[in-house]
Amino acid sequence: MEPIDDYSLATGDGGAPRLRLVDQAYGVGTRRLLERAGLALGQRVADVGCGIGTVTRWMAARVGSGGRVFGVDVNAEQLEAARRASEDQGQGQGHENLEYIEASAYATGLPRGSLDLVYCRFLLMHLTRPIDALREMRALLRPGGVLVCEEAAVDSSACEPPCAAQVRLQSLATALGAQLGCDFNLGRRLHSLMLEAGFASPETTQHQPVFVRGQNKRLEELCFREIAPRLVAARLATAVEVDEALDQVSQTVANETVAYSLSNMVQVWAKV
């Protein structure tokens, strides 16, 4: 198996609450995008970097019993959580039309030219070689197949009125990504990367959720909390500085007079 990139967030059960919030916050936009890109009954599709399988399971329901969905992730903890959730919903490993595969985004092991649609969300920004992952996903598509990608720009999140601690943690997160060899603002380059990967005419749009209350408003705070030890270990800030900033962000999230815009999600799709 290919070497694992240094993923900075929690995985498995530890990261499941955050990943559920990801889908609650961005899921409506994701489902509209996949339908617009042509997801349909009977298709063979893959969800690369599937995490705990939230989108994977939805796609399996959409393609129906005549289709097939492959959930691909390099992290065994993520896949174990995905399998448990699938079994709870009657979609176990190898059961009906859904299969989970432990593999790298750079080398999925899936047959070339065999899929109608390949999808990823919040994947490329965590990779040191995103263009290689895009080329791998392109190779999986049959002629006329479509690649659908969603990637954010971390530094596009914002509070109104502004919160200095949120801006500080946002900056630290971006710096951590750079240390890891990743681009946590990759969403802005996604269209260009698709062109570089060989797609002639990518389509693009964007989706930015805004919340004033509720658990979804906590999504970025949970991300900051999960990477906090990495920020300190990387000597980007002290533990005291990070804790103080997290406390201020938590207070901001709880304040219903503050509108919290999560990271802008850039959505790009293209046919082979």
What is the model's pLDDT at position 15? Answer: 87
Selection from 88, 106, 131, 107 nearest residue 98 by Cα: 88
What is the model's pLDDT at position 12? Answer: 82
Stretches where the chain sits below pLDDT 70 are 1-4, 88-95
What is the model's pLDDT at position 3? Answer: 43
What is the model's pLDDT at position 90? Answer: 58
Element counts in the chain: helices (H) and strands (E)? 8, 10
